[in-house]
């Protein structure tokens, strides 16, 4: 189950760092692809050369190499990983993680991680039992991290008790259980569209909109986290997707229509969250249009309504979700769209809601299903909104 899994291993300053060598060797033997991040203190306990040799990848310690100036991009590293495992995790690093401190590469990756995070503490008995450590461990658990409790035995200080880092074999078994668990959308094929489309006027100018793609990307991430095989078809955006998502970049409505059409027949769930342009220029100029006249008329034609197009093709077994961004008569317009486009449910959001809508990190939605059952949600971060939408999908599948 670990074959080809991408494991990011964080190693902190602890005498238990020697176990990272055994852990790395076991991970590689199971077929995992292992990249290692060390804190500056960790190199006092085990050499980067040892871990680099065992992992067959360079070991990273700093944000950048002072000799070459090459930057180690913490965001890319966080997106690369299927799991971020910190073993050993020192009391110092645990405190930083619990309180959002970010003074080294490992802590920066942790704050950027969207994948599951596993923490294997290692420290002396009194440090492990100290009230501040206990509070930090509880905080990390509330953030959704998995804490691998330390073992009981002889410690480096000579004391005996809790604080020993879990054995590498036990950690491997825990990761196996994690990847082997039955996720609610395991094996389901999903399409998510995101972002705007750009409809060219000439080689320089286009018709577009303010969609950032954040909502669609959050939905794609959540579907993948729930076990789905996700194909993300996105218009132009600066956002980065997780490596375990099959991303297809498009520009225009016609481009997006082509890709959706290509894969829709095999999709179990399709979530159309892209803000597709309703109109495009009747003619695209092959040369840049010069700014000569005070008035400029642009003749437009309707683009293909992708959602209505696939709604006509939808089988009873497929789930199709649409979005409605409205400014007036919101529920009435959303219900009309729901029925006309043969949707299982529609996600209504309003430009009238402060803090919601395009470009922002939050959204406020109302879900209306085909039976006109309505469920309204308060303003939330888009990652949390994505969970609400995906839970509705799970409810329909179950």
With contact defined as beta carbons under 8 Å apart, do 345 and 339 qualify? no
With contact defined as beta carbons under 8 Å apart, do 306 and 260 qualify? yes
Rounded to whole angstroms, the Cα distance separating 314 from 241 reads 27
Rounded to whole angstroms, the Cα distance separating 265 from 284 reads 32
With contact defined as beta carbons under 8 Å apart, do 77 and 50 qualify? no
Rounded to whole angstroms, the Cα distance separating 8 from 279 reads 45
Distance of CA 355 to the CA centre of its chain: 22
Active site residue 209: yes
Tokens of 58: 């360079």
Rounded to whole angstroms, the Cα distance separating 186 from 177 reads 15
Tokens of 120: 């294997």
Give the three-class secondary structure for 223. helix
Beta bridge partners of 6: 33
Burial of 345 (0-12, 13-18, 19+ CB in 10 A): buried
β pairing state of 362-363 and 229-234: unpaired
Q: Which of 209, 243, 333, 342 is catalytic?
A: 209
Which residues make Cβ contacts (< 8 Å) with residue 131, sequence separation at least 6?
Answer: none
Give the three-class secondary structure for 268. coil
With contact defined as beta carbons under 8 Å apart, do 245 and 232 qualify? yes
- CA torsion sign for 311, 315, 320, 324 is positive
Rounded to whole angstroms, the Cα distance separating 341 from 343 reads 6
Burial of 212 (0-12, 13-18, 19+ CB in 10 A): buried
Residues annotated catalytic, as ranges:
209
């Amino acid at each position: 189950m670990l074959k080809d899994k991408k494991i990011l291993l964080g190693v902190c300053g602890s005498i238990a760092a020697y176990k990272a060598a055994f852990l790395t060797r076991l991970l590689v033997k199971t077929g995992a692809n292992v990249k290692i991040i060390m804190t500056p203190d960790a190199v006092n306990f085990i050499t980067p050369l040892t871990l680099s040799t065992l992992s067959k990848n360079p070991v990273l310690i700093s944000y950048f190499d002072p000799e070459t100036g090459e930057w180690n991009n913490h965001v890319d590293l966080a997106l690369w990983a299927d799991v971020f495992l910190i073993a050993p995790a020192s009391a110092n690093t645990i405190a930083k993680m619990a309180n959002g401190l970010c003074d080294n590469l490992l802590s920066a990756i942790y704050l950027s991680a969207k994948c599951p995070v596993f923490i294997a503490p290692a420290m002396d008995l009194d440090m492990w039992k100290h009230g501040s450590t206990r509070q930090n461990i509880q905080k990390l658990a509330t953030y959704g991290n998995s804490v691998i409790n330390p073992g009981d035995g002889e410690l480096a200080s000579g004391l005996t008790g809790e604080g020993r880092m879990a054995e590498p074999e036990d950690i491997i078994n825990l990761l196996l259980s994690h990847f082997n668990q039955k996720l609610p959308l395991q094996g389901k094929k999903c399409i998510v569209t995101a972002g705007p489309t750009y409809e060219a006027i000439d080689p320089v100018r286009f018709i577009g909109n303010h969609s950032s793609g954040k909502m669609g990307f959050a939905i794609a991430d959540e579907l993948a986290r729930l076990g789905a095989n996700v194909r993300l078809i996105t218009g132009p955006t600066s956002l980065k997707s997780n490596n375990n998502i099959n991303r297809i970049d498009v520009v225009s409505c016609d481009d997006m229509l082509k890709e959706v059409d290509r894969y829709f027949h095999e999709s179990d769930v399709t979530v159309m969250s892209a803000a597709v342009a309703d109109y495009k220029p009747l003619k695209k100029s092959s040369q840049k249009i010069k700014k000569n006249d005070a008035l400029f008329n642009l003749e437009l034609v309707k683009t293909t309504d992708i959602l209505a197009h696939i709604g006509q093709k939808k089988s009873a077994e497929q789930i199709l979700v649409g979005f409605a961004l409205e400014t007036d008569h919101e529920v009435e317009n959303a219900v009309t769209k729901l029925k006309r486009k043969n949707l299982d449910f529609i996600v209504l959001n309003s430009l009238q809601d402060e803090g919601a809508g395009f470009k922002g990190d939050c959204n406020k939605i109302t879900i209306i299903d085909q039976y006109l059952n309505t469920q309204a949600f308060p303003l939330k971060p888009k990652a949390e909104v994505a969970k609400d939408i995906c839970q509705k999908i799970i409810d329909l599948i179950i």
